[in-house]
Amino acid sequence: MALTHTEGCGFGGETMYHLLQRTYRGYAMHPNVTAALLLEHGCEKIPNDVMRRQFETAGVALERFGWASVQLDGGIDKALGNVEAWFVRARPPVAERTPAGFGGLQVGLLSAGPMGAAAAAAFAGVARTVLAAGGSVLVPEGDALLAATGFRAEVLGTVPPRATLAYGQAFTVPGLHVVATDSDHWVENLAGLGGCGAHLFLGLVGDTPQQGHPMLPLIQVAESNRLPGTSAPDVDVMLTGSVAADIAALLQAMQETAQADSLPVASAGGFVDFQLSRGLLGVST
CA trace torsion 218, 84, 196, 54 (10° rounding)? -170
DSSP classification of residue 103: G
pLDDT at 284: 66
pLDDT at 13: 74
Amino acid at 114: P
Residue stretches of the chain with pLDDT short of 50: none
pTM, two decimals, is: 0.93
Whether 180 and 166 have beta carbons less than 8 Å apart is answered as yes
pLDDT at 91: 84
Q: Where are the domains of the chain?
A: 11-95+279-284, 102-269
pLDDT at 285: 62
Helix, strand, coil content of the chain in percent (nearest 5): 40, 15, 45
Q: Report the CATH fold assignment for 102-269.
A: Rossmann fold (3.40.50)
Beta strands in the chain (DSSP E): 11-12, 36-40, 65-69, 106-111, 136-140, 176-179, 200-204, 218-223, 237-239, 283-284
pLDDT at 145: 95
Amino acid at 22: R
Distance CA(227)–CA(247), nearest Å, equals 19
Amino acid at 49: D
Distance CA(175)–CA(138), nearest Å, equals 8
pLDDT at 15: 83
What contacts 223, CB < 8 A, 6 or more positions away? Answer: 115, 116, 118, 119, 204, 238, 239, 241
Distance CA(257)–CA(253), nearest Å, equals 6
How high does pLDDT run on average in the chain? 92
pLDDT at 92: 77
* Spacing of C-alpha 142 from chain mean position: 15
pLDDT at 219: 98
Whether 23 and 192 have beta carbons less than 8 Å apart is answered as yes
